[in-house]
Structure 1
Amino acid sequence: MHKPITKAQEARLAFYRNKGKIHARATAGKFNRLRWTMVWLTQIVFYGTCWLNWETNGVTRQAVLLDIAHEKFYLFGLVLWPQDALLMAFGLILAATALFFVTAIAGRLFCGFACPQTVYTAIFAWIEARVEGDHLARLKLDQSPLSARKLGLKAIKHGLWLLFAAWTAITFVGYFTPIRELLPAVPAGRLGPWESFWLIFYAAFTYVQAGLAREAVCQHMCPYSRFQGVMFDPDTRNVAYDPARGEPRNSRRQAGSSGDCVDCGICVQVCPTGIDIRDGLQYQCINCGLCIDACDQVMDKIGAPRGLIRFMSEREVGGATPTRGWIGRPRVAAYAALLLVFSLLAGWALAERSLLLVDVLRDRGALHRETADGTIENAYTLKLMNLDENRRSFTVDVSGPANIGIVGEREFTVEAGSIRPVSLTVAVPADSGASGIQPIQFRVWDQDRPASSVLEKSSFVLP
């Protein structure tokens, strides 16, 4: 005899159930319009930004370019170096905190409207619909036996998918290799090994994720869907079904004996992840709002008020009054406070960012040397890094024991975006009264901007 299936086993079976390929039904409405607005907006930014130019000192370059070979990140007029990693860290922290803040207020709103997986899945599904027809035609085609027509349609669809994925990969790599150099190099076969790898990898990644995996990414691969629940509170607004108004369901909708839900199933048919929103909040739901658009159309047809499915909080679903404002919502207040704090810190770091970095290396081959005129000299190498996009001239001063000074040249010119090592000799009179290791300080300042200076500590060795 077979043992009865436990609840845990039922849950695992439900989790791994195979629904087959989901052919979502097309719908119209405000959320669908907003969704496609975000598709257009994000893709105009992605595909268009790499073609923008920026002119600095008569030199034209790509406006946004991560030049790994020369260790520079060009962001319009801003040039970031590896030493500016703190700014990148702040950027990532701000993005994560903003995502958590939005999630606490409106659930997986980012997933439904701006996530690259959602955006590219929508584009690939649009291409599929143009080639194979609506959801019923696509379902019928998939279930039909192999034929010349089926092979032809599938070949056209996958060919268009591959072309779109290839152009996406070229655009992506164009943010690392200037796009105007990359594009003619592709057909000419003049690509480097890393460029070839990323073109193939990113094209294949886009094709598989958006064309083949689709909703499986949201259902089984996305880690965000697993921990998003910890950011919710009872007032987080998610796409939800109103059971108090919709139940009991009745396809004939008899007045006084049934709810507004006519059990048409259209909300399930339009869902890109294939869930039934009437079963309650589920981790697969991406808050795209398409089921709201579909249900509102049905409500219009039967003469019922819109909003049977709408953005609601857990309190509203239970019939309670939602909390107004942020009072009583510690998660939202905490995320807002963190967002403000990190924004201020990022602004401060950017404002205080120095365009000159100095590294002082003391010559350890000879601790000191005594000259014929009675002075003690130490040798140093200063590495002057000019992070500006302009050529700059710097003056070096030194302070420390009495009468300390620099022997020889103390003014240096550093080309834009380059590092210049300079050799310096620092001298102290032998009768200065000091002995042993003495702390000194180098001050490097811009001749055009004397207020802009860098101080670096070092040591001076005396007998």
Structure 2
Amino acid sequence: MSQDKIDVKDITPKTFNPKTHKGGGDRFNPSNRIYVRESKGTFQKLRRYGGWFLLLLFALVPWIPYGERQAVLLDIGNQQFNFFGTTLYPQDLTLLALLFMVAAFGLFFITTFLGRVWCGYLCPQTVWTFMYIWFEEKLEGSANKRRKQDSGKLTSNLLMRKTLKHIAWLAIALATGFTFTGYFVPIGALVSDFFTFNANFWPVFWVLFFAACTYANAGWMRSIMCIHMCPYARFQSAMFDKDTFIVGYDSKRGETRGPRSRKADPQKLGLGDCIDCDLCVQVCPTGIDIRDGLQYECINCGACIDACDKTMDRMGYKKGLISYTTEHRLSGKHTKVMRPKLLGYGAVLLVMIALFFVQVSAVDPAGLSVLRDRNQLFRVNSDGLVENTYTLKIINKTQTEQKYSLSVSGLEGATWYGRQTIIVEPGEVFNLPMSLGADPQQLSSPVSTIQFILRDSNDFSLQVESRFIKKL
């Protein structure tokens, strides 16, 4: 491994603490539950407020009205993707590819700079997991109490509290299923039809499917998702270097660990600042011991930082024994924030963002496609003209009714059979069958290239190329 990369450690046998796990000695066994202790502090407030903001945003957006529909509706059935006043169609989905590229390079940039802060603060798995843990704490008690209860006899009182907990979990899961499905189906009708048993099969299926996934992931699987199933944990080390900000333990200051009284002088006892209280392990949602070094299970949530800072404050020691730091800083070297890799990711990210907005600004307010009649390429009509038949598909991508006029160029003296002025409703796809006739004496070649022209009342015009066939 090159010198600017850090080795992500896998120390499964050492990090397992039987005091904080139920079951045997393998903390990756789903039966060995992690009892996460509540942690309070600066970073947990930041995580909590950020999580609630994104959660409320996720829940409220489908309910925002815009005209006669909801503001954001990804209507896959009608192949229309509505974002307030903009409607996108499948031919505009290059925007989606650019958006994914922006998200990817944004993730690369943030990970290189601040490690797995996405996982610790913004990932839906983390937000929902901590929300489920909150209900668990309120209904069953603290981590120590829950551990003791689960190792003892199931009483009627405990059964009632566990039942209430699962009812709360299921209610959150069902609300999540409705909300997520409501981005693709009108949410008002979805909720109404669901509870009146008038909903179709597929909307009901997806509501229940996402509800089941939420309940299983946040209630039962939790860290298993982060450790075993999320690919991000596996490839993150490729983006880390020794200047990446991670959650790190200052071993030079903390070792040798050991308990002591508040009044004792650690130097006289030959001890470091770490009192080996184990709180950093007990508050970790993935159950690792950060004092053993950087591990891929760490999601950079900062829970151990807040717990350790409180311990240091109670002991009268300086805070920051565990902190957001870098490998270079821990080894006493200078941290280089502006480095080539980070600048490279940032530059590509800015380019992708610029391309995305250029593409958005280039989205046409209307769409036109031309389909030739495949059954009969041409015919000679009663007027002696060669006639070709087409079907024009006109898409009104705006949110208002539009009047369009149609014409053709590249075919001298052409006769248009059909309507040349049409009115199209917002979001409507209008199919217009029509024909073109031309004098065969004026056609210089068997196949002529022509242009269909669409114009609206705002002077917007769109041209689509097609062919006029005289003979084979």
Q: Is the 8 A contact 1:399 1:405 kept in 2?
A: no
Alignment partners' CA distance in 2, 1:335 and 1:223? 20
Deviations 1:365-394 (A, max 9, x none): 444445676654433322222222222222
Q: Is the 8 A contact 1:132 1:138 kept in 2?
A: yes
Counterpart residue identity of residue 384, structure 1: I
Q: Is the 8 A contact 2:86 2:398 kept in 1?
A: no
Where does residue 43 of structure 1 map in the other structure? 55
Counterpart residue identity of residue 121, structure 1: T
Alignment partners' CA distance in 2, 1:121 and 1:439? 61
Alignment partners' CA distance in 2, 1:278 and 1:11? 11
Counterpart residue identity of residue 192, structure 2: P
Q: 1:337 aligns with which of 329, 341, 347?
A: 347
Aligned-residue offset at 1:95: 1.6
Aligned-residue offset at 1:409: 4.2
Alignment partners' CA distance in 2, 1:367 and 1:73? 35
Q: Give secondary structure in 1 for the equivalent of 2:242.
A: coil
- In the alignment, structure 1 residue 52 sits paired with structure 2 residue 64: yes
Cα 1:74–1:409, aligned 2, differ >3 Å: closer, same or farther?
closer
Aligned-residue offset at 1:324: 3.9
Please report the RMSD computed on the Cα atoms of aligned residues, expressed in angstroms.
2.3
Q: Give secondary structure in 1 for the equivalent of 2:346.
A: helix
Q: Give secondary structure in 2 for the equivalent of 1:321.
A: coil
Stretch of structure 1 that moved more, 177-186 or 264-273: 177-186
Where does residue 62 of structure 1 map in the other structure? 70
- Any stretches of 5+ residues in structure 2 without a counterpart? 1-9, 17-24
Deviations 1:120-144 (A, max 9, x none): 1111111011111111111111111
- In the alignment, structure 1 residue 301 sits paired with structure 2 residue 314: yes
- In the alignment, structure 1 residue 85 sits paired with structure 2 residue 85: no
Q: Mapping of 1:17-32 within 5 angstroms?
A: 17-19=25-27, 20-32=32-44
- In the alignment, structure 1 residue 322 sits paired with structure 2 residue 335: yes
- In the alignment, structure 1 residue 142 sits paired with structure 2 residue 125: no
Q: Mapping of 1:22-421 within 5 angstroms?
A: 22-55=34-67, 60-252=68-260, 254-255=266-267, 257-326=270-339, 329-330=340-341, 332-370=342-380, 375-404=385-414, 406=416, 409-421=419-431
TM-score, L = length of structure 1: 0.90
Deviations 1:158-216 (A, max 9, x none): 22212222222222222222222222223322221112212222222111111111122
Alignment partners' CA distance in 1, 2:325 and 2:419? 72
Alignment partners' CA distance in 2, 1:419 and 1:153? 55
Aligned-residue offset at 1:429: 3.5
Q: Give secondary structure in 2 for the equivalent of 1:39.
A: helix
Instruction: Calculate percent identity across the aligned residue pairs.
Output: 40
Q: 1:440 aligns with which of 450, 453, 456?
A: 450
Alignment partners' CA distance in 2, 1:312 and 1:346? 34
Alignment partners' CA distance in 2, 1:441 and 1:369? 20
TM-score, L = length of structure 2: 0.88
- In the alignment, structure 1 residue 449 sits paired with structure 2 residue 458: yes
Q: Give secondary structure in 2 for the equivalent of 1:136.
A: helix
Cα 1:419–1:246, aligned 2, differ >3 Å: closer, same or farther?
same
Alignment partners' CA distance in 2, 1:73 and 1:433? 43
Counterpart residue identity of residue 103, structure 2: A
Alignment partners' CA distance in 2, 1:367 and 1:291? 73
Alignment partners' CA distance in 2, 1:377 and 1:171? 53
Q: Is the 8 A contact 1:401 1:434 kept in 2?
A: no
Counterpart residue identity of residue 221, structure 1: M
Q: Is the 8 A contact 1:371 1:377 kept in 2?
A: yes
Where does residue 5 of structure 1 map in the other structure? none
Cα 1:184–1:255, aligned 2, differ >3 Å: closer, same or farther?
same
Alignment partners' CA distance in 1, 2:443 and 2:195? 73
Alignment partners' CA distance in 2, 1:379 and 1:238? 66
Aligned-residue offset at 1:232: 0.9
Q: Is the 8 A contact 1:434 1:462 kept in 2?
A: no
Where does residue 6 of structure 1 map in the other structure? none
Q: Is the 8 A contact 1:242 1:308 kept in 2?
A: yes
Aligned-residue offset at 1:236: 0.5
Where does residue 3 of structure 1 map in the other structure? none
Alignment partners' CA distance in 1, 2:375 and 2:227? 63
For these two proteins, the number of residue pairs brought into alignment is: 445
- Any stretches of 5+ residues in structure 1 without a counterpart? 1-9
Stretch of structure 1 that moved more, 290-299 or 175-184: 175-184
Stretch of structure 1 that moved more, 355-364 or 38-47: 355-364
